[in-house]
Structures are given as structure tokens and as C-alpha cells.
């Protein structure tokens, strides 16, 4: 799997996505930092797209003030062709959406002292699930 962020030039990201697709390698894109100029046609070639709420708002131009708004913004990207979107929502958990399924995975309650690295933690949790091709999570 190729795991990408937007901390390098967009042309490099686009080339890596094309390389992955051409060679049968799954591609995961975490659009951080979010850039309005991200060409969503390349994002739609990725197997997994994992923004946080702020990145989702920047990329869609839609409000993400409530869970329903987050769902609508995520759905707008799925409707444009994304295969899997996992929106990380800090203490609210994560939303995993495909064309056919939608699952809210609640966060564990913790006494957070520092949220540094929270986004990386979400990726570290999502990565093994993706790598082992787990069936879409079902709420208990």
C-alpha cells in the first residue's frame, strides 16, 4: 500500500497515485494539509481517502458543524467517485462511508491531556483494518 499526505508537491502525489493504480498497489490518501487545489479526480483514484473534519470542510466548501453536515459533505465526495472515505472526528470518533455503506465508529472516552498525534493515531488504527481487508465495521 502507498500511503500519501499533501506535505509534498501535488505533482508528486498525483504521480504516486498513478504509479499505484498502474501497478495494482492500493493507495491511501490523507489530505493533510488540505489544499483547495487538490484535483479530486486523483483523489477518486485512491482506494482510501482519510480527511479530518477541517480538511473535509476545506475540500468540499461545505459546513461540518454537525454530524449530519459531516455526513452530507462526505456523501458529496462519494458521489463524485471516492471509493472509501474515513472522516476522523477526534472525540466524536470516525465516519466510514462507501457508496453502499456508512458506519459511525465512536471514540473511546479518554481524559485527553494533549491531542498531538491524534491524526496519526487514527491512521494507525485504520491501516491494519485496511491491510487485513476487514469487512466494514458494524456498530454493536
Number of domains in the chain: 1
Q: For residue 66, tell me if it sits in a domain.
A: yes
Q: For residue 138, tell me if it sits in a domain.
A: no
Q: Distance between CA 83 and CA 86 in Å, rounded?
A: 10
Q: For residue 59, tell me if it sits in a domain.
A: yes
Q: For residue 139, tell me if it sits in a domain.
A: no
CATH number for 54 = 3.40.1190.20
Give yes or no for a contact between 53 and 87, defined as CB atoms under 8 angstroms apart.
Answer: yes
Enclosing domain of residue 111: 2-131
Half-sphere exposure of 60 (CA within 13 A, CB side): 24
Q: For residue 22, tell me if it sits in a domain.
A: yes
What would the pLDDT profile of 48-103 be if each residue is shown by its tens digit? 999 999 999 999 999 999 999 999 999 999 999 999 999 988 778 889 999 998 88
Q: Quick check: 20 pLDDT over 90? A: yes
Percent of the chain predicted with pLDDT > 90: 64
Q: Residue 115 — very low, low, confident or very high, per pLDDT cuts 50/70/90?
A: low
| Between 46 and 116, the higher pLDDT residue | 46
Q: Residue 136 — very low, low, confident or very high, per pLDDT cuts 50/70/90?
A: low
Amino acid at each position: 500500500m502507498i500511503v500519501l499526505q499533501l506535505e509534498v508537491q501535488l505533482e508528486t502525489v498525483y504521480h504516486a497515485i498513478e504509479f499505484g493504480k498502474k501497478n495494482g498497489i492500493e493507495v491511501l490518501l490523507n489530505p493533510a494539509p488540505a489544499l483547495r487545489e487538490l484535483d479530486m479526480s486523483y483523489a477518486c483514484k485512491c482506494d482510501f481517502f482519510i480527511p479530518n473534519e477541517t480538511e473535509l470542510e476545506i475540500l468540499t466548501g461545505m459546513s461540518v458543524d454537525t454530524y449530519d453536515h459531516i455526513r452530507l459533505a462526505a456523501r458529496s465526495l462519494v458521489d463524485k467517485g471516492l471509493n472509501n472515505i474515513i472522516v476522523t472526528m477526534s472525540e466524536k470518533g470516525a465516519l466510514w462511508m462507501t457508496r453502499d455503506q456508512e458506519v459511525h465508529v465512536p471514540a473511546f472516552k479518554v481524559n485527553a491531556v494533549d491531542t498531538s498525534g491524534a491524526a496519526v493515531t487514527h491512521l494507525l488504527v485504520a491501516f491494519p483494518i485496511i491491510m487485513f481487508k476487514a469487512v466494514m465495521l458494524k456498530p454493536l
